[in-house]
Amino acid sequence: MFLTEPPFTVLERSFYEAPTLAVARDLLGQLVVRRFADGEIAVGRIAETEAYTVGDPACHAFRGKSRANAAMWGPPGKAYVHINYGLHYCLNAVTAPDGVPEAVLIRAIEPVQGAARLLRNYTGQEDVTESSACSDKRIGAGPGRLTRAMAITKPDFDGHDLTDAGSALFLARGEKVNDGAVTTTTRIGITKGADYPWRFYITASRWVSRR
């Protein structure tokens, strides 16, 4: 039991029912809260997202349902965790009504709490101080990096309910990010649908994976 646990306000399911592009934009500034098995809590502020929708050739759901992507068809507010390049886990928040496969990829987080634990997770090294960890880009700048730092795997979290504040992983309300502080660009690392401007990031964030 941690006496200093912040009073997190979980993002309710209705948040994820808005149009996927709006959810991708509005997830900026919100918090990813990870409660580890030993009770320690790490928190990251979302700095970069991408939207993937029905009819979008880059969306994993585009070629139909499979065992690997089934979570995208679930109700909004669930997690879709996929393996990329055979080795990286990527975390998505499922959006759109139940049965409609759309999601938002979380591409970067800024460490808010528990940076030392995140870097320990990432490197396996034990001798990590909070002050050195909090500026290390490896714990949040990139979709594969943030899941590794947060110990988010497909077996553990694919299909997980991100609206369950009592669980090991949920999203909570952070500070609002004004439109003037947001940059919109095309998505990264894809070949199909590469011209859709469906990537959003906090312009001033030092944790954006690429500019």
Partner DNA sequence: ACAAGGATTACCT
Partner DNA sequence: GGTAATCCTTGTT
Q: Does 100 bind DNA (CB under 7 A)?
A: no
Q: Are 99 and 135 in contact (CB under 8 A)?
A: no
Q: State phi, psi for 123 to the nearest 5 degrees.
A: -95, -25
Q: Two tokens at 94?
A: 């499922």
Q: Return the residues of window 163-192 that contact DNA according to CB under 7 A.
A: 187-192
Q: What is the DSSP letter of 65?
A: -
Q: Are 136 and 119 in contact (CB under 8 A)?
A: yes
Output the smallest distance, CB 58 to DNA, in A.
Answer: 6
Pick between residue 165 and residue 188 the one whose CB is nearest to DNA: 188
Q: State phi, psi for 170 to the nearest 5 degrees.
A: -155, 165
Output the smallest distance, CB 92 to DNA, in A.
Answer: 5
Q: Does 30 bind DNA (CB under 7 A)?
A: no
- Distance in angstroms (rounded) separating the CA atoms of residues 105 and 143: 8
Pick between residue 66 and residue 131 the one whose CB is nearest to DNA: 66
- Distance in angstroms (rounded) separating the CA atoms of residues 205 and 202: 5
Pick between residue 155 and residue 166 the one whose CB is nearest to DNA: 155
- Distance in angstroms (rounded) separating the CA atoms of residues 99 and 76: 9
Pick between residue 15 and residue 196 the one whose CB is nearest to DNA: 196
DSSP codes of every residue in 1-35: --TT-----BPPGGGGGS-HHHHHHHTTT-EEEEE
Q: Does 63 bind DNA (CB under 7 A)?
A: yes
Number of residues that bind DNA (CB under 7 A): 39
Pick between residue 6 and residue 54 the one whose CB is nearest to DNA: 54
Of 18, 68, 165, 181, the one binding DNA by CB under 7 A: 68
Q: Does 152 bind DNA (CB under 7 A)?
A: no
Of 20, 30, 92, 163, the one binding DNA by CB under 7 A: 92
Of 21, 28, 32, nearest to 180 by C-alpha is 28
Output the smallest distance, CB 73 to DNA, in A.
Answer: 12
Q: Return the residues of window 112-151 that contact DNA according to CB under 7 A.
A: 138, 142-145
Q: Does 64 bind DNA (CB under 7 A)?
A: yes
Pick between residue 117 and residue 148 the one whose CB is nearest to DNA: 148
